[in-house]
Structures are given as structure tokens and as C-alpha cells.
Amino acid sequence: MTFDQFIQNLANGISLGSLYALIAIGYTMVYGILRLINFAHGDIVMLGAYVAFYGVVMFMLPWWVAFPLAIILTAGIGVIIERAAYRPLRSFPRINLFTSAVAVSFLLENLGNVIFGGRPKAFERPAFMDIALQIGEASVLSYTPIIIVTAAILFAILIYIVNRTKVGMAMRALSKDIETTGLMGINTDRIIMFSFMLGSALAAAGGILWAIKFPQINPLMGVMPGLKAFIAAVLGGIGNITGAMLGGFLLGVVEIMIVAFFPDLSGYRDAFAYVILILLLLFRPTGIMGEVQAEKV
Amino acid sequence: MKISRNTLLTLGALIIFAGFLYVAQNMFNTYILRIINLCAIYSIFAITFNLIYGYTGQFSLGHAGFAAVGAYVAALLTMSAQQKEANFFLTPIVPALATMQWPFLFAIIAAGLLAALVGSLIAWPALRLRGDYLAIATLGFSEIIRVLLVNMQPVTNGALGLKGIPPYTNLFWSWGCVVITLFVIKRLTNTSYGRALRAIRDDEVAAEALGVQLARHKLMAFAVSAFFVGVAGALMANLISTIDPKVFLFFLTYQIVGITVMGGMGSLTGSTIAACLYTIFLEVLRPIESPFTIGNLHVPGVPGMRMVLFSILLLIVILFYRHGLMGTREFSWDRLFEFFRGKKKASPLTNSEGEQE
């Protein structure tokens, strides 16, 4: 492989990785607080892409109105899901919450099938994202750096919220101990709602960027990215936001690079993520940055 | 030896049920037979998931993978040489399998054994993981199996799948396997093994401190569970007669989890009942997808509406019927009699599983 091809693959890997990372953050935030694998999260990604699509195609909105609007609407849907399907089950065994998440995921996918139609739709990129950029011999379309930069900005905003604001502090407290946080006078319901809102907003952004990168959208498009992003979250140490980003980038780059270096293995592409996951879990059962929790007896 | 009233009743019920199956097999059309067969297959799936999660507390999401192993083994062992030749037109089949054809019974057993082997192989590294980490690792294994099926073309025919598998599965095979599964797992949970499994579920550390060998018991739960999932997969392959790797996506596992939760965690009879309700319900809902007319209002058929309604119902059950249909209780004759006598007394005998939650 030439150096230019390597650069091209690396750019591709990083942009895929930043999408995984964006989606993984939603998983990790919800898991850190509720210990719930929110399997409906991948379908939020799909919703984000579809709302943006309809905003542009049906309501003729320019992209800079449609995309932020889609993110806000999807965040709202995330909050509704939390209120309707997860909050009533919070005090029940975790399998109930998990099944509820699976049911929500089924519902969103099938509703998508009925409302949006099962046939894939072509998502049109704004024109400025289709310019070919030359880096030496390598050429990438301009959406690749745009995805990376947008994701980086969103990460910066998120890290600021989590580490520097009062809400962020409450979120961190919640992930340590829900009950005690409630006793300290923090409205836990509201903070959990806020986490869902934040996670869904990032997922929607991820969905729109995903549709820009792979411009065919269908009601099941969120399933695979959702699952891979969840793996990324586990790789990084679930519950840890920096870990989720790291896991996302790692997974994206490794996936692209293995196919680039060993083209014979491209049929096994979907299995790489799981193989990496299982190997890592065997040697570091709590992920790269996860804390080792002492067993309480 | 004195045979108790309940044993007699159970035997009687089994004989009546066998009679019903005999009548059904000869009277109903293939469409209805297929639904009743599917009820049985989903029952086995749910019962085995209950063993591994409801009794042992191991959150394993590998069912689709075990079922895939069973289905492919049975399909390859029962198809005739001509069928195989017709299927493998892109890549020729490996010579060893080309002419192999076994009786259905042996094919089922082979399917179960290979699935059990895969189950133990998966359980062995997974024993180090707990809770959600175990869930995602087993889900990963199941997906790896599926990707292997797509790529091992000389053995599995890749993404094209296998067509024309002989339709050997009938009501006796399928429901016979349900009865055997129920019997074996019920007996197993009543032995010291079963108590050890429940101890692991309730508190792993305490169980280990009391001398329960965690690895051995977990491995056994995985192997037994995977064996019967493999059997169910074999029945499924020889029922629907066309399989491809997409059948065994993780959606299958999710469905099984949903059914088991609806039936009640820790209730084997609950799993069976929920599996039958689920399968029948999906079929009953089919008409809403075809166009119909109410008065002057003409409603065009909406494909996919059935699954929307189904997901809403699943959500309602989970949100408002939180312990499932049966909770952790089992069906028992004593309770049935009490019900008809109008007594509302919960007998401690019938509630022996009630310690959970």
C-alpha cells in the first residue's frame, strides 16, 4: 500500500470512528446512570437521519435549518421514550428495562417501515460537501474532514457540559449513586431526562453525518451502527465518556485498516468488532478506561 | 409404588394432547400446522433461555447463534445429494458432506450435540464475564457464527442459504421435543444442580463460598441450554425448509428474550404459553395488513402494520404486566383445583419457585 492510500484509509477510518464515537456516547451515558443497555439508541440514529431528510425534501428547508431542527426534534423523541418506556420500570429487575428497550427498538423500526417506507431513500449531501480534496496523491471528498471537525466540536461541547457545568456535575454524581444524589437535593428525574436528551441529540447528529457519509437511508440503517457503537462503548469501558470516544475511534480505524491491509478478509468485516471486543474483554474485563469495581459482599 | 393423583393427571393430559396432535396432524391444512409447529419451536427457545437467565442468572444473548448451528447441521445432514448439488451451484460443497444423508432423529441429535459443543466453547471464555459484559460478548459470538455462515461457502452455501430441506418436522417431532425439553429441564432444576444454579443467580459470591463450583455449573447450564436450542434449530430448518444466515440475526434472540419475559422469568410453563400466544398472535394480526372496508371507509393495506401493533402490545405487557403471565410460578394441578374450588389460598407447595424478588 502506498503512503497516499494509507492516508486516505486513515481519514476514512477516523471519520467512521468519529461517527461510532458520537453514537457510543449516548449508550455510555445512559448505561453509566441507569445500567441500561439502551438498544433503541441505534434507532434514534435512524430517526435523526430521516427527520433531516424530510426537513430538506418535504419542507424545502435549507440544510443549516433542517439539520439542527432534526437534532432538536430527535432529542425530544429521546426524552419521550425515556418518560414513557423506561421511567416506569426503573425499580424493576434490569431484564424488564432491557426488554422494554428492545420493544421500543422494534416499535421505532416498524413505525419507520410503515411511515417512511421500507425502500431505501437517497440522502442528498449539501453541494459543498462533495468537493474533491487533494492531499498529495490521495483524494478525499470534503465531507470526510467536515464529519471529523463537526464531531470534534460536538465532543468539545459535551466535555464542557459534563465537566464544567452544574448539570454535568449532577450527571457525574448520578452515575456514582442515584439514591444519594437524590438525597442531596438534586432532581434525579430531570437529570436523567437531560442525559437522554443529550445522548439522543448526539445520536441524531451521528445519524445525519452517517447519512452524509453513506447516503442511502432505510428504517433499519441504525441497527448496525448502533451495535458497533455499543461495542465501542464497551471497548472504552462502559459508563466512561472519554472511553467511549476512544473506543469509537479505535473501532473505526481498525475496521477500515484491516480491510485495507487484508482485502481477503473483507467478507468478515462485520465480525472484526466482535472479535476485538471478546479479546479485549478477556484480558481487561472492564474495557480500556473502565474502573474496576470492587465486589461488595 | 404409589402413583400420585397429579402424576396420573399429567399422564392423562399428555395422552389427550397426543390425541389432539394426531387429529390435528391429519385434519388441519399446512398453514395451521406450520403455526402449531412454530409454537413448539419458540417454546423450546424460550424454555432454554429461561434455564440460562431465569434460573442461572447468566444474561446470555447467544441463542440465535446456537439455533443457527443446529439448523445448518440438521439441514446438511438431511438433504439428499441431488438437493445439495442443486443448491451449491456457485461453490461446490465439500466432498465429505456431498452424499451424507442421515435419518431425521440422528440429524436432530447431531444438531443438538454440535450446538452444545459450540455453547460450551462460548461459555468457557464467557465465564469470566458478568452481567451486561456477558450479554454483549455472547451476542458477539452469535454474530460471529452468522458471519462465518455467510463466508464458509463450501459448507454453508454462504448468503444464498439452503433451499429444499426435506420437511420432516411434524407435530409429533416438534411437540415431542417440547415435552422432552420441559421434562429434562424441570427435572434438572429440581436436583441439587438446579439449586446450585439458583444459588448462582441469587448471589455468585455466596454460592462460591458455600462450595458451588461456578465454572462447572455455568458450563452445564450453557451446554444443556445450547443442546435444546440446537434441537429447536433443527426442527425449524426442517419445518420452513429454506434457511439462510439472515434468519439468525440477533433479532431472533431479542424475540426469544421478549417471549420469555412475557411468560415470566423462572416459569417454564409460562415460557411455553407465551411462545404459543406470540406465534398465534402474529398470525391473527395478519389481516390488518390487507385492504379492508368499514362502512364507506376504505382502508388500504399497510404492510408492516402487524409488527407495529405487535411492538406496542409487547410494550404494554412489559410496562403494565411486569412479572409476565406466570411470574415465577409454574402451572400445577393443585392450583388449578384450588382455582375451581374458589379458594384464594396460596399453597406453599405450589409456590416453591416464588423466592425470586
Residue A292 domain-assigned (yes or no): no
Hey, is the C-beta of B202 within 8 angstroms of any chain A C-beta?
Answer: no
CB contact under 8 A, A110 and B308: yes
Q: What does residue B274 show for φ and ψ, rounded to 5 degrees?
A: -65, -40
Identity at B130, one-letter amino acid code: R
Place of cell 415431542: B176
Hey, is the C-beta of A262 within 8 angstroms of any chain B C-beta?
Answer: no
Hey, is the C-beta of B140 within 8 angstroms of any chain A C-beta?
Answer: yes
Report which of B102, B59, B96, B60 is spatially closest to residue B77, judged by C-alpha positions: B102
Structural domain range at position A175: 3-283
A60/B64 Cα distance (integer angstroms): 44
- Taking the CA of residue A44 and the nearest CA in chain B, the distance in Å comes to 16
Residue A169 domain-assigned (yes or no): yes
Hey, is the C-beta of B66 within 8 angstroms of any chain A C-beta?
Answer: no
SS (H, E, C) B317-352: HHHHCCCCCCCCCCCCHHHHHHHHHCCCCCCCCCCC
Per-residue pLDDT of chain B (357 residues; tens, 9 = 90+): 567 888 888 888 888 888 888 888 888 888 889 999 999 999 999 999 999 988 888 888 999 999 999 999 999 999 888 888 888 877 777 877 777 888 999 999 999 999 999 999 888 877 778 777 888 889 889 999 999 999 888 888 888 888 888 888 888 999 999 999 999 999 998 899 999 999 988 888 899 898 888 889 999 999 999 999 999 999 999 999 899 998 898 889 988 998 898 888 888 999 999 999 999 988 888 777 777 666 666 666 677 788 888 888 888 888 888 777 777 777 778 777 877 776 554 444 444 443 333
The per-residue pLDDT for A151 is 93
Nearest to A95 among B265, B307, B310 (CB): B265
Find the CATH number of the domain harbouring B159. 1.10.3470
Structural domain range at position B87: 27-286
Please give the helix or strand (H or E) that residue B260 lies within, else none: helix B250-263
- Range with the largest mean pLDDT of A56-65, A221-230, B40-49, B244-253: B40-49
How many domains, in total, are found in chain A?
Answer: 1
Alpha carbon of B29 to those of B25, B32, B175: distances in Å? 8, 6, 17
The per-residue pLDDT for B357 is 33
The per-residue pLDDT for A50 is 95
For chain B, the residue count is 357
| pLDDT tens sequence across A134-168 | 777 777 888 888 999 999 999 999 999 999 999 99
Find the CATH number of the domain harbouring A259. 1.10.3470
Report which of A50, A2, A41, A3 is spatially closest to residue A22, judged by C-alpha positions: A41
The per-residue pLDDT for B354 is 38
- Say if CB A218 and CB A42 are below 8 A apart: no
Residue B301 domain-assigned (yes or no): no
* ipTM over the 0.90 cut-off: no
Residue A276 domain-assigned (yes or no): yes
CB contact under 8 A, A85 and B257: no
Burial of B57 (0-12, 13-18, 19+ CB in 10 A): buried
The per-residue pLDDT for A295 is 54
- Taking the CA of residue B172 and the nearest CA in chain A, the distance in Å comes to 32
How many domains, in total, are found in chain B?
Answer: 1
| pLDDT tens sequence across A95-125 | 888 889 989 998 999 899 888 888 898 888 8
Residue B183 domain-assigned (yes or no): yes
DSSP character at residue A295 = P
DSSP of B42-53: HHHHHHHHIIII
Residue B323 domain-assigned (yes or no): no
The per-residue pLDDT for B299 is 65
B288/B268 Cα distance (integer angstroms): 32
Range A15-44 average pLDDT: 91
A100/A89 Cα distance (integer angstroms): 8
The per-residue pLDDT for A72 is 96
The per-residue pLDDT for B346 is 47
Report which of B225, B273, B212 is spatially closest to residue B59, judged by C-alpha positions: B225
DSSP character at residue A46 = H
Question: Is the pLDDT score of A193 beyond 90?
Answer: yes
Residue B8 domain-assigned (yes or no): no
Residue of chain A minimizing CA distance to B310: A107
B55/B190 Cα distance (integer angstroms): 11
Report which of B355, B19, B307, B321 is spatially closest to residue B203, judged by C-alpha positions: B355
